[in-house]
Structure 1
Amino acid sequence: MAATPGSPHGHEHADSPAPPRATGRVPLAPHPDRLLPPEPSQRGIARRLYESVRDLPLISPHGHVDARLLATDEAFTDPASLLVTPDHYVTRLLHSHGVPMADLGLRDSTGDTAPAQPREVWRTFCEHWHLFLGTASRGWLEAELHDVLGVTVQPSADTADELFDELTARLREPEFRPRALHDSFAIAALATTDDPADDLSHHRALAEDPSWSGRVVPTFRPDRYLDATGSGWTAALDDLAAASGIGTGDYDGLVQALEDRREHFRAHGATATDHSAPDARMAFLDIAEARRLFDAVRSGTATTEDARLLSQQLLGEMARMSSEDGMVMALHTGSRRNHHPDTMRRFGPDTGHDIPLQAEFTRALQPVLERFGTNPRFQTVLFTLDETVFSRELAPLAGFYPSVYLGAPWWFLDAPRAMHRFRDAVTETAGFYRSAGFIDDTRGFCSIPARHDTARRVDAAHLAGLVAEHVLSEDDAARVIHDLHDRQPRKAFRL
């Protein structure tokens, strides 16, 4: 597909050196000891720990798989649509090497460029397979291809068409339909992420289907109704009013509508809310000031600071509601969402250009924790993209407040080395049992078991080192790794 000259989504410049062309039939066989320690005695301990949890059912309390996938149980059409186009870990890295988004199957809302067909998307992915070397994505992709889909040769320019045809045929087989894969993954609980205006019809269909025995619960994600700085905020309030039947033309109506939709979600099994505010600050203003801010923003007379303060006030209302209804408040903060305006305009959000920000939690969370930090109904799980706060702020907070759990390394940090750094940074202060365990946070259905397997291997390796240093006994380590992948995510998200 021809690139637009000068486009930020175009190919590399013509004078850039061409990347090496991946060719040949190289076996795909992930090593059974991958991510385990190289030192033989520690590797033996890690193997035993890993084997003890390898086949545990998967608890997935936070992710972005659509419930429709399991409700309709429609067969996946092709490997590109399954593994490439929807996975922003994949698309962002290829884009960084000059591959246009449209060549990866993403739809350009401006109509300037038509998305490539799946076979072409797959060829592009296979030709650039070497670019994933050293990344966490490479490990997940190898596990998806080999362990889930039965692929035995590596993607390359020479194998692209062969693999496309092989996988397209395989995905039509009954055992590779979504529900059959769900069962083969041994998923005990799966949480989706849903808009408050969603009628949750797919969740209801699953709950009412006598042939379905899995547990899929929604998660309340109200970002677009809380972000008063966004251009689409007023339209979002109209959507919320239509869904709840409650007018959102004033502050009290908005709060009541959000409370109503939370009850709707709870009735469908939800146990948590999720928030992606730029930072963790919350405000707790008197009602007259909150109403004034709402009216000013709604009428278009507010300052930028007014809109920001109203957003923090609405996040504070979410905390207050959680202290009353018991829904866990997951905070995914510290990301500059949609960093590249043109990509956002053309290809939308969640296309790989969310970039980490420096985070601060100690001062930001004091107002909410002084109100609800020891309230047994309130519980929060804190995620960050800033490693510098692991030991300085997050571990001490979780080491005091019974309401605070440490979220797993997230987005750019859900990689093996970062997972080790996280455990090193927080455990000596907060222990293992203030952790929420592992959260896969994925949109890629087939990556769920691959990501959990990575986390189990990393935890086995980390604990093996502590056993070798005589910090833990092997029996202690076996109990800890089991709890990190079963008890802790259930407890932290009240599943």
Structure 2
Amino acid sequence: MPLTYPDRLFPSEPKLRSTARNLFEGIENLPIISPHGHCDPSWFAKNERFPNPAELLVVPDHYVFRMLVSQGLSLEALGVPRADGTKPEVDPRDIWKLFAQHFHLFRGTPSSMWLNHSFEHVFGIDVPLNADTANEYYDHIDTQLGLDAFRPRALFESFGVECLATTEGALDDLQSHKAIMESGWAGRVVTTYRPDAVVDPEFEGFAENVELFGQLTGEVTTTWTGYLNAHRKRRAFFKEHGATASDHGHPTARTENLDVAEAEALFQKAIAGTCNADEADSFRGQMLTEMAKMSLDDGLVLQIHAGSVRNHSSRVFAEYGRDKGFDIPKRTDYVGGLKPLLDAVGMEPDLTVLLFTLDETVYGRELAPLAGAYPSLKLGPPWWFFDSFEGIKRFREATTETCGFYNTAGFNDDTRAFCSIPARHDVARRSDCAYLAELVETGRLSMSDAHEVAHDLAYGLAKTAYKL
């Protein structure tokens, strides 16, 4: 019995369902553009087998382990490495058994749909995962991971991925991307410039990071001019390795456009470690505007992922580091926060700024009106907690009437879980077709236009927005 229902996510009303299915059949097998995510580029550089089912499907996926932790399981028992890089001595089969015993916790969540899609369509499994089938699952997946068809590059190709973007810090040497480029493999894997470690004064080791930044670029990064030049050089280096975008994960959407003297003074406080919280936020805001100005010169798309309180659990952060499932949404001001940047460069048609949010209340009130006016702005798709059928539907309903479809950037999966990529794009395509079916059957969109929009939402908009 299939784990996934063929008409999943389509409306229950027969005529709407038929229309949604018709639209979906036209885009179901389009290539995947994955322009923003966090897969490890070394997978494709080395093309070695994935170690085991737990390392592939549980350990790197914070959607999975955060749910299990919320029910009392420990990160150690789930094999999650500690902040210093040490891995707990846990048998991967035991990790998998824990996962299987608690798989019922994911009922009704996007993770359940993504995982079942992976089990069925990637690994060919058609029985439910539970405590009784845990060993059967583990053995089957582990055997398949030993086959050439399940190595990273082969899976990339079987998933129909046309382009995959990873995300690396400004200090990364990009050796994996260099190895991919020199390997002769035709798969397109590009990097993304993520400078948080040398932009955020509250990032651990910020001053040391800025010093290393100078060593890498040959610039005197104790001066404001040298520091900005270092960014320009690293951005160029990333472009040489395929980058078409930068990405900025800031707690707020605040921007600044200070004069040179004010910016220099704030920078000196940042590297001296004497910024208070407001000054640190101001510096991050200044750097968003500086990055936007640099994008006008080098063409990189500017992504702003704002509104997440990162590492909310101090204990988990101290023991396990960043990205361990404890980043929590917060209220975010885009209208006031972005105004300095928009006053400076917002009317530039050659600039692309993609806005993401974890605050759904701003969709109709702030984001759609902004993107529907400024030529530099586009809306990124529902992100993280809202990367779901309901989340995508709410996004479309709240934004389309104000900024349309063509001031949005299609879909990206933003994942570390490689095998979930086709599943996530499947959900997005079904969700959008369900929404478009409503427009067709209520006379707001012709069927021919709906087919064109469905294609653009699934493929064309992301490819265009990210200059891919």
* 2:178 alignment partner in structure 1: 204
**2:202 pairs with 1:226:** no
- Matched residues in 2 for 1:38 and 1:184: separation? 31
* 1:9 alignment partner in structure 2: none
Deviation at 1:88, TM superposition (A): 0.2
- Matched residues in 2 for 1:205 and 1:112: separation? 26
* 2:458 alignment partner in structure 1: 485
Judged with a 3 Å threshold, the aligned counterparts in structure 2 of structure 1 residues 239 and 86 are, in CA distance, closer, same or farther, namely same
Name the Cα RMSD after superposition: 1.5
* 2:145 alignment partner in structure 1: 171
What amino acid is the match of 1:364?
G
Q: Deviations over 1:24-68 (max 9, x none)?
A: xxx552110111111111111111111100000000110111211
State, as a whole percentage, how many aligned pairs show the same letter: 47
Deviation at 1:253, TM superposition (A): 1.6
Alignment coverage as a number of residue pairs: 468
- Matched residues in 2 for 1:455 and 1:268: separation? 29
What's the secondary structure of 2:355's corresponding residue?
strand
**2:133 pairs with 1:159:** yes
Within 5 Å, give how 1:50-65 maps onto structure 2: 50-65=24-39
Judged with a 3 Å threshold, the aligned counterparts in structure 2 of structure 1 residues 128 and 342 are, in CA distance, closer, same or farther, namely same
Moved more, 480-489 or 282-291: 282-291
- Matched residues in 1 for 2:206 and 2:40: separation? 24
Alpha-carbon contact 1:324-1:378 (below 8 Å) kept? no
Deviation at 1:306, TM superposition (A): 2.9
**2:422 pairs with 1:449:** yes
What amino acid is the match of 2:186?
S
Alpha-carbon contact 2:197-2:209 (below 8 Å) kept? yes
Q: Deviations over 1:270-294 (max 9, x none)?
A: 1100001111111111111211222
Alpha-carbon contact 2:153-2:187 (below 8 Å) kept? no
- Matched residues in 2 for 1:419 and 1:292: separation? 43
What amino acid is the match of 1:245?
G
* 1:360 alignment partner in structure 2: 333
Alpha-carbon contact 1:28-1:142 (below 8 Å) kept? no
Gaps of 5+ in 2: none
**2:300 pairs with 1:334:** no
Judged with a 3 Å threshold, the aligned counterparts in structure 2 of structure 1 residues 110 and 249 are, in CA distance, closer, same or farther, namely closer
Task: Give the counterpart of 1:265 among 238, 243, 247.
Answer: 238
* 1:14 alignment partner in structure 2: none
What amino acid is the match of 1:323?
L
Deviation at 1:325, TM superposition (A): 1.4
- Matched residues in 2 for 1:491 and 1:462: separation? 22
What amino acid is the match of 1:269?
G
- Matched residues in 1 for 2:275 and 2:314: separation? 24
* 1:97 alignment partner in structure 2: 71
* 2:366 alignment partner in structure 1: 393
- Matched residues in 2 for 1:177 and 1:186: separation? 15
What amino acid is the match of 1:443?
R
Deviation at 1:113, TM superposition (A): 9.2
- Matched residues in 1 for 2:86 and 2:424: separation? 36
* 1:10 alignment partner in structure 2: none
Alpha-carbon contact 1:108-1:115 (below 8 Å) kept? no
What amino acid is the match of 1:418?
G
* 2:15 alignment partner in structure 1: 41
**2:301 pairs with 1:314:** no
What amino acid is the match of 1:145?
F
What amino acid is the match of 2:229?
Q
* 1:5 alignment partner in structure 2: none
Structure 1 length as normaliser, TM-score? 0.92
Q: Deviations over 1:341-365 (max 9, x none)?
A: 1101111111100000101111111
Task: Give the counterpart of 2:59 among 74, 85, 102.
Answer: 85
What's the secondary structure of 1:190's corresponding residue?
strand
- Matched residues in 2 for 1:70 and 1:113: separation? 22
- Matched residues in 2 for 1:450 and 1:109: separation? 30
Judged with a 3 Å threshold, the aligned counterparts in structure 2 of structure 1 residues 422 and 301 are, in CA distance, closer, same or farther, namely closer
Q: Deviations over 1:221-267 (max 9, x none)?
A: 00111101334211211221232222312222211111110011112
Q: Deviations over 1:124-150 (max 9, x none)?
A: 000001100010110000001111111
What amino acid is the match of 1:37?
P
Judged with a 3 Å threshold, the aligned counterparts in structure 2 of structure 1 residues 304 and 438 are, in CA distance, closer, same or farther, namely closer
* 1:22 alignment partner in structure 2: none
What's the secondary structure of 1:362's corresponding residue?
coil
Task: Give the counterpart of 1:247 among 213, 220, 225.
Answer: 220
What amino acid is the match of 2:199?
L
* 1:284 alignment partner in structure 2: 257
Task: Give the counterpart of 1:125 among 95, 99, 119.
Answer: 99
Task: Give the counterpart of 2:80 among 90, 96, 106.
Answer: 106
Deviation at 1:385, TM superposition (A): 0.6
- Matched residues in 1 for 2:385 and 2:213: separation? 32
Deviation at 1:115, TM superposition (A): 4.5
Alpha-carbon contact 1:60-1:439 (below 8 Å) kept? yes
Deviation at 1:300, TM superposition (A): 3.7
What's the secondary structure of 1:104's corresponding residue?
coil
Structure 2 length as normaliser, TM-score? 0.97
